Amino acid sequence: MADGFARFDFTPEVEAATAPLWERVKGRVTPLEWQVHAPLIARINSLKREKNAVILAHNYMTPEIFHGVGDYVGDSLGLAREAARSDAKIIVQAGVHFMAETSKVLCPDKTVLIPDLRAGCSLASSITGADVRLIKQRYPGLPVVTYVNTTAEVKAETDICCTSANAVQVVEWAAKEWGVDRVILIPDEFLARNVAAQTDVKIIAWHGRCEVHERFDVADIAEMRLAYPGAEILAHPECPEEVLAAADFAGSTAAMNDYVVTRKPKQVVLITECSMASNVAADAPGTEFIGPCNLCPHMKRITLENIHEALVKEQFEVTVEPALAGRARLAVQRMIDLPPPAQPARYDLVKARHHVDVELI
Ligand code: 13P
Ligand code: SF4
């Protein structure tokens, strides 16, 4: 093959081509592992150029994917914005299925690929379009704000989407726009509870949960405080409200990243998916990452091997029925068009107003 990377050997050419990437991951990937990853990374990066493809990689991808082949990396909001801006012909979503659907909804003319169709999400599978139609019948006249962690079918029934980075801003915007004091925020119960503690808008919530974040417990935080009294503890808003109340800061994966990179804590605990710490570490050389983390089995289905396969065979294409995509696009685009918040959402107020009730459907 013309680029010389056809065979997956760790040749001097591969080593030279991937040397700057090795510098980013060498604290988290062993030299032996790199000899396996580097030839694939070189080949994938060359295929992207040949095929005019980009890879959108979520913060929960393993470091060899995130730093090795991701063209755009970030949280759900950042990736949705990048998908909308991209002029590539092919988008490979290194993330889960709802993210690929969001990219397709925003870019109907592009080919959107997901390397493993089984990369789902417990939040996205907690609710259907029919459920949302029933909720709307039960609460007529109230705006429906939907977390991006949902299928396109659910987004299509929705007024506006949000992510964990902008949920408070979107809920307040919707209440003002509709002239109401109650907003439906679905499907993540914990995100809804954590947003409720940040705003005077009353929240009606669904009982969906992230299987990764719901498993964290206040006991995890108490243990960390005892063992590492100086450590700063950051938690994702998909965690239970008591976990957020016990943490020092909470925010989306992008907000956690910004916190660590700008505040440079000596020791930090990231109460979220395990790859988060591995990926931030490259930009936070003076920080020690400690403490518990949980793996997302869906995110972990994406590997360098299946990304390579996806580019070679142009599989697995994610499609969304055009009329449904059009309706879902309105909800996602409305979110994207809101001005970015001056600061990423902070959930510190959870401490002051701990346990604000939501109406759970
Ligand atoms: P954010 O990257 O938007 O914080 O979301 C985390 C997540 O669980 C995505 O699946
Ligand atoms: Fe879904 Fe949670 Fe995995 Fe994100 S981390 S994809 S919300 S199950």
Give the model confidence (pLDDT) of 292-350 as tens digits: 999 999 999 999 999 999 999 999 999 999 999 999 999 999 998 888 765 555 555 45
**Nearest atom, ligand 1, residue 251 CA:** 4
Q: Give yes or no for a contact between 60 and 299, defined as CB atoms under 8 angstroms apart.
A: yes
3-state secondary structure of 56: strand
For the cut 80, the answer to whether the pLDDT of residue 211 exceeds it is yes
Q: Give yes or no for a contact between 358 and 182, defined as CB atoms under 8 angstroms apart.
A: no
Hey, what are 198's tokens?
């940040």
**Nearest atom, ligand 2, residue 212 CA:** 2
List all residues 6 or more positions away from 195 whose beta carbon is below 8 Å from its beta carbon: 167, 168, 171, 185, 203, 237
Give CA separation, 231 vs 28, 32, 234, 346, 349, in Å. Answer: 20, 32, 10, 19, 20
Q: Give yes or no for a contact between 306 and 115, defined as CB atoms under 8 angstroms apart.
A: yes
For residue 195, report the distance from its CA to the centre of ligand 2, in Å. 18
Cis peptide before 8 (omega within 30 of 0): no
d(CA 300, CA 260): 24
Mean pLDDT, rounded, for 236-248: 92
For the cut 60, the answer to whether the pLDDT of residue 83 exceeds it is yes
Encoded amino acid at 211, one letter: E
For residue 182, report the distance from its CA to the centre of ligand 1, in Å. 25
For residue 148, report the distance from its CA to the centre of ligand 2, in Å. 11
Give CA separation, 91 vs 86, 162, 242, 310, in Å. Answer: 9, 22, 38, 10
d(CA 140, CA 118): 35
For residue 203, report the distance from its CA to the centre of ligand 1, in Å. 21
For the cut 60, the answer to whether the pLDDT of residue 218 exceeds it is yes
Mean pLDDT, rounded, for 128-135: 97
Phi, psi of 95 (to 5 degrees): 180, -150
Ligand 2: residue whose CA is nearest its atom 7? 210
d(CA 218, CA 12): 49
d(CA 95, CA 165): 17
Q: Residue ranges of the domains in the chain? A: 12-119+298-313
For the cut 80, the answer to whether the pLDDT of residue 1 exceeds it is no
Q: Which tens digit of pLDDT belongs to each residue from 35-51?
A: 999 999 999 999 999 99
Q: Which tens digit of pLDDT belongs to each residue from 149-162?
A: 999 999 999 999 99
For residue 132, report the distance from its CA to the centre of ligand 2, in Å. 20
Give percent of the chain with pLDDT exceeding 90. Answer: 82
Return the beta strands (E) in 261-319 as ranges.
267-271, 288-290
- Per-residue pLDDT at 354: 56
For residue 292, report the distance from its CA to the centre of ligand 2, in Å. 17
For the cut 90, the answer to whether the pLDDT of residue 165 exceeds it is no
Identify which ligand lies nearest to the alpha carbon of 76.
Answer: 1
d(CA 118, CA 116): 5
- Ligand 2: list residues with CB < 6 Å: 96, 121-123, 149, 210-212, 238, 273, 296, 298-299
Ligand 1: residue whose CA is nearest its atom 9? 76
d(CA 89, CA 51): 8
Give CA separation, 1 vs 6, 312, 318, in Å. Answer: 5, 13, 29
CATH for 12-119+298-313 is 3.40.50.10800
Q: End-to-end alpha-carbon separation of the chain, Å?
A: 57
d(CA 232, CA 247): 8
- Per-residue pLDDT at 71: 96
Encoded amino acid at 174, one letter: A
Give the confidence band of 76 by pLDDT, cuts at 50, 70, 90.
Answer: confident
Ligand 1 pocket member 252 (CB < 6 A): yes
313 against 253, higher pLDDT: 313
3-state secondary structure of 268: strand
Ligand 2: residue whose CA is nearest its atom 6? 121
